[in-house]
Amino acid sequence: MAEIYLSPALAGRFAEDAPIDWAWTVAGEVHRQVKGRCTLRVLVDGRAYFLKKHSGVGWGEILKNWAVGKQAVLGAENEYRACLHLARHDVRAPRVAAFAVEGGGPASRRSFVLCEELAGFDSLEAVTDAWAAEPPSPPAKRRLVLAAAAFVRRLHEVGLVHRDLYICHLLLDRGKWAAGEAELAVLDLHRARLQAPVSPFWRKRDLAALLFSTLHLNLPRFTQLRFVRTYTGRPLRATFRQDPGFWRSVERRAKALRKKAKRRGAANSAESAQVRFVGTGRNAGP
């Protein structure tokens, strides 16, 4: 059975056209396109939104995920419910303007979520990339790290697991940062799951992904320890005495993710080199 949500601002817009049909025909700027999912920036009545539409992943992808104990992303429902959940708990995330899912099997049904653009924000990836040319002051760097720790702590406190928690998915309010205040938001919640309370397993995976995505910054150990203290809300001595293995497991997983990324990068480079060789070698051609 189809499910539809429209914000008051859009409630009368689809009197004639079904929301699903609109989502699949509206023009916009493509920001990301992968198998079964496309993200576009669109304008509705002059206002900017991000439209994420899912066209089904197929039974092959579902069975492949089941075989390795993972849960496939079947549509826009995760993002829709995660954004609403965060809004109820006053955690900054894209505000949902519209959502729809058509009936049918999970492998082929279409769905979309339309969210208001978070204007005036930069990703933490972009912010930290700029540090190479213009390093921040130590107090500014510390303020940002502690803000990230407090924000992730809040995500987990309200029962949300991101499952893709890299710094590119955390956003910093540009104007407030210029005034000395670090206010964050989160986006790209299509893999998110709600779980209360969040288990150590999922906390570890979120925290390890975040650590992995910051390893290239070479943050000092004491800065990492400040993150731990802020995230837990307890003195470091008490944290490590109560659960000495948890943070070691976070670090091990982050380093394992880095090794995996390096292997994948090397494999991609080798594949590209092979393609160049085959395409330009002496025996190339029909």
Query: Of 12, 19, 9, 3, whose CA–CA distance to 96 is shortest?
Result: 9
Contact status, residue 171 vs residue 188, Cβ threshold 8 Å:
no
The number of beta carbons lying within 10 Å of the beta carbon of residue 162 is: 24
Reading the block at residue 194, the tokens are 């709600």
Measure the CA–CA gap between 188 and 207, rounded to whole angstroms. Answer: 16
- Provide the 10 A C-beta neighbour count for residue 143: 16
Is-contact 92 186, C-beta < 8 A?
A: yes
164 flagged as catalytic: yes
Please state the three-class secondary structure of 89-141 as a single string. CCCCCCCEEEEEECCCCCCCCCEEEEEECCCCEEEHHHHHHHHHCCCCCHHHH
Tell me the C-alpha to C-alpha distance, in Å, between residue 177 and each of 135, 138, 171, 187, 279.
15, 15, 11, 18, 49
What's the longest Cα–Cα distance across the chain?
Answer: 69
From the list 17, 164, 188, 206, the catalytic residue is: 164
Measured in whole angstroms, the distance separating CA 22 from the mean position of its chain's CA atoms is 25
Q: Where are the alpha helices (DSSP H) in the chain?
A: 19-25, 58-67, 77-88, 124-129, 138-157, 174-178, 200-212, 221-232, 236-242, 244-280
Residues noted as catalytic: 164
